[in-house]
Amino acid sequence: MKLTATFAILGSAALSMVAAQTGSFTNFTNIATAPTQFTATSVSLSPVPLCVQKTCLTLIGNLSTPITQGARNSVTGRWLDRLVYTDTQDLCAVLAANGTPCPIAAGAITLNVCHPMRSMTPRNFPIIYQYIITNGDGGLLLAQRANTSLSAKDCP
């Protein structure tokens, strides 16, 4: 009983902290364990709380190599260390749908990786999302983690 109450209190406190966020979320942690092909100066999610209909990961920084066909965007989400969300997309298809087709030349860039979230995602819970983006050549572009939530309501 005490353990359940403790989880309820911790979950409520974390949810209150996440619910207070508005606009875009910029509190990311770099979790790359190897050199990356993209050096981020800014990483953000919007809107906050996230929406099932469309969530955007905006990346600003510098590419050391071009982004090529075969690049993948993998997103996982954990709540209380339990896997509650997983999705992998063809990064070039997502970028092309947002007006930026591959290949993308090396150099300074701003990328908007916008896509719908899977509707099975638990809503209104603080979830630790992990974004791993790999290039078509197999190199690691980005590995970042963020703690936020998915809106309880559908977004307009």
Q: Distance between CA atoms of 42 and 113, rounded to whole angstroms?
A: 14
Q: What does the pLDDT read at residue 156?
A: 62
Tell me, yes or no, whether 113 lies in a domain. Answer: yes
CA distances from 13 to 7, 26, 82, 123 (A): 10, 20, 19, 16
Give the model confidence (pLDDT) of 123-134 as tens digits: 777 889 999 999
The count of structural domains within the chain is 1
Span 57-77, average pLDDT: 96
Query: Can you give the residue range of the structural domain that contains 25?
Result: 2-148
CATH number for the domain including 58? Answer: 2.60.40.770
Could you tell me if residue 154 is inside a domain? no
What are the tens digits of pLDDT across the range 4-52? 333 333 333 333 333 334 457 778 999 999 999 999 999 998 887 777 7
